[in-house]
C-alpha cells in the first residue's frame, strides 16, 4: 500500500536534513544506530505528548488503536481495516483495536431514533 503524499513529503524532508543510519534507517540515534525504545520514549515520545497536552501515560502502541478506530468510524470496511492492520481475523480488529467514539454513539442513536414500527392495529 503506498504512503499518502504528506507522509512521503515529510520523510523526504527528514532524509534531506538528517543522514540515514545503518541499513538505510531513517530515524536513528546520533550514532547512526537504531533508536532504542527507552531513548525514543524519553527524548521524543514523552516530550511530544507534553507539547500536545496529552496524558504522559499514552503508549506509542495506542496510535494503532486510534488509527483502527478512525478508519472504522470513517466507514472503511472492517475487512480492509483488518488487512491494513495486519490482522488475519476481523474479530481481532474489532475486539481489540476499535473503540467507541461519541460520533459513532451519536450515529447509532440517530439510526435507532429514525426507526419506526408500523401502527398498531386496533
- Percent above pLDDT 70 for the chain: 96
The mean pLDDT value of the chain amounts to: 87
Instruction: Count CA atoms within 13 Å of residue 2 on its CB side.
Output: 5
pLDDT of residue 56: 92
Residue 117: predicted pLDDT = 65
pLDDT band at 99 (very low <50, low <70, confident <90, very high): confident
pLDDT tens track for 14-73? 999 988 888 889 889 888 889 899 999 999 999 999 999 999 999 999 999 999 998 988
With H, G, I as helix, E, B as strand and everything else as coil, classify residue 61.
coil
Three cell numbers written together for 100: 467507541
User: Where do runs of H (alpha helix) occur along 18-101?
Assistant: 37-40, 46-52, 62-73, 78-85, 90-92
- C-beta separation of 29 from 37 below 8 A: no
Backbone φ, ψ for residue 28 (5° rounding): -135, 165
Predicted pLDDT of residue 120: 65
89 and 82 Cβ atoms separated by less than 8 Å: yes
Amino acid at each position: 500500500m503506498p504512503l499518502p503524499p504528506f507522509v512521503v513529503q515529510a520523510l523526504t524532508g527528514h532524509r534531506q536534513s538528517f543522514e540515514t543510519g545503518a541499513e538505510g534507517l531513517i530515524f536513528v540515534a546520533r550514532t547512526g544506530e537504531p533508536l532504542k525504545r527507552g531513548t525514543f520514549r524519553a527524548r521524543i515520545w514523552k516530550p511530544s505528548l507534553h507539547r500536545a497536552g496529552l496524558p504522559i501515560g499514552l503508549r506509542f502502541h495506542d496510535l494503532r488503536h486510534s488509527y483502527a478506530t478512525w478508519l472504522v468510524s470513517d466507514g472503511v470496511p472492517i475487512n480492509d481495516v483488518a488487512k491494513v492492520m495486519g490482522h488475519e481475523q476481523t474479530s481481532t480488529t474489532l475486539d481489540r483495536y476499535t473503540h467507541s467514539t461519541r460520533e459513532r454513539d451519536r450515529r447509532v442513536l440517530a439510526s435507532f431514533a429514525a426507526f419506526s414500527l408500523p401502527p398498531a392495529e386496533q
